[in-house]
Amino acid sequence: MGKPRILTESKGARWLALLCLAIPMFGSYFFADMFSPLSEVFRSAENVALGWDATDYGLYTGAYSVLCVFGGLIFCGMLLDRWGVRLTGSVFVGLMVAGAALAGFSMSDSFAEGSLASWMGRYFEKPSLALATAGFAVFGLGSEIAGVVVNRAIAKWFKNREMALAMGVQLSLARLGKATALLSVPYLIAYEGGFLSRPMIMTVVWVGMGLLLLSGVVWVVFALMDTRLDRQSEEARRIAAQVAEEQKDDFRWSDVWKVLSNRNFLLISLLCVSFYCCIISFGKFASAVAIPRFGIDFKVAGQMISMIPFCTIVFAPLFGHLVDRWGHGTRFMLVGACLVLLAHLIIAFAPGQPIFGFLGIGILGIGYSLVPAAMWPSVPKIIPEKNLGTAYSLIYWVQNIGMMMVPIWVGRIFDTSGNPVHVEILFIALAVIAIAVALVFLYSSKKHPELGLDKAAQRD
């Protein structure tokens, strides 16, 4: 076998590029979920040095999606289609790091004792919350666009190859960051319950920032590889020149309309928002649900909830491989949505023994693996390649509407009723919606077989 002409023909180069794409997502997931194991502490403002209660914590976690929802994802997705993965990714990985640094600074003694906090105190009741939400909003925009860039880059590097497997592996490694946060944080700060001090909080923040700085380094490595790929490929240069000629303006609203008028795209978007809110938004408050529901402590809760990402670490690549090999992606999505509903029914209504908590969370993790392994590789089958950045961004935008609103809603439910079952009823309703959308999508794939939504991957 001859030497590969371009990097994408080298299996080792493709998977090295994937590793460089996955590490920033690992860091992003860790930072986004590093307080999730401690969400029970925020049930009372007296328990936290920051003085935040459950509603405040819900506002902080919901802030992740604010800039994404109010135009950021749509605008930046169009920039991605114009600028390409390297420039767009570099900008937004940088924003991810900067926003995290701002959020972390708001929780430090340096901020609390400084003049900025005093000045902000004139306008905000809780200055640390105001600055933290602003920083987390910037982090969220950077993280979500970086996620869009990663999906777009995988579609480029693994086109007509093992794309679903690659996306599954990326999801697996990214969610390892979530699992690491859930398992390590209570041990990292030796937290056994009681008061959550600023030094404890800042220990977690520094670990998260270290991972994000590493993410910036490996992103540079990927950018260099991607530059070499484009230089090697005359076809890539020709396509890039053609796209640049077609997209002279910064914005092409006609492309947005073409994407939004695609029925299958709308179905994927609705499935995405209802499905991910059942898991990501649940994860932000999972310990606040599991601890009173199953009578466990913080460390056991961290172990229980970490089953969600650990299941995806095992099953997401497996299911991605099966989608590549067998097809039937819409069936994978439907089964995954049904498993999520079953999981939340168990968490809400099963007896209060911890074994049922582990069972429900484990099923939730398997469902979390099934749907994305089939859903994300379906997007390039229904959207032209030149509009993929816009399409992925619009899906993330719809998803972030839910991720902004649901945590705020959950925080208020906890502050008003304090009953975790009431929270679970919300997630059960969202899971029912996800199943309904998946059924319609399955019907659509059968009606339009020419799209190849249920076909196995092509191999060159």
Write out the residue range of the structural domain in which residue 351 sits: 11-451
- Whether residue 274 lies inside any domain: the answer is yes
- Whether residue 457 lies inside any domain: the answer is no
For the chain, the domain total comes to 1
Per-residue pLDDT at 378 = 80
Distance CA 183, CA 305 (A): 8
- Whether residue 85 lies inside any domain: the answer is yes
Q: 3-state DSSP helix/strand/coil percent for the chain, to nearest 5?
A: 85, 0, 15
Distance CA 236, CA 310 (A): 37
Distance CA 116, CA 104 (A): 15
Q: Which two tokens stand for residue 331?
A: 């069936």
- Whether residue 3 lies inside any domain: the answer is no
Question: Are 409 and 283 in contact, with CB atoms under 8 Å apart?
Answer: no
**Residue 313 CB: number of other CB atoms within 10 A?**
20
Q: Could you tell me the pTM of the whole model?
A: 0.71
**Residue 290 CB: number of other CB atoms within 10 A?**
26
CATH number for the domain that contains residue 115: 1.20.1250.20
DSSP per residue over 52-64, as a string? --HHHHHHHHHHT
Closest CA relative to residue 403, chosen from 147, 38, 213: 147
pLDDT averaged per 10 residues in sequence order, the chain, 460 residues: 66 90 93 86 79 87 85 69 82 93 92 90 90 94 88 83 82 86 85 81 92 94 88 62 50 68 86 88 87 87 85 82 78 91 95 94 90 80 77 83 86 84 93 92 76 55
DSSP-assigned beta bridge partners for residue 410: none
**Residue 131 CB: number of other CB atoms within 10 A?**
20
Q: Which two tokens stand for residue 191?
A: 């937290």
Question: Are 304 and 290 in contact, with CB atoms under 8 Å apart?
Answer: yes
Distance CA 307, CA 222 (A): 30
The backbone region for 339, taken as left when phi is positive above 0, alpha when psi lies in -120 to 50, beta otherwise, is: alpha
- Whether residue 165 lies inside any domain: the answer is yes
- Whether residue 305 lies inside any domain: the answer is yes
Question: Are 323 and 78 in contact, with CB atoms under 8 Å apart?
Answer: no
Which 8-state DSSP code applies to residue 456? Answer: P
- Whether residue 5 lies inside any domain: the answer is no
Per-residue pLDDT at 214 = 94
Distance CA 350, CA 233 (A): 57
- Whether residue 218 lies inside any domain: the answer is yes
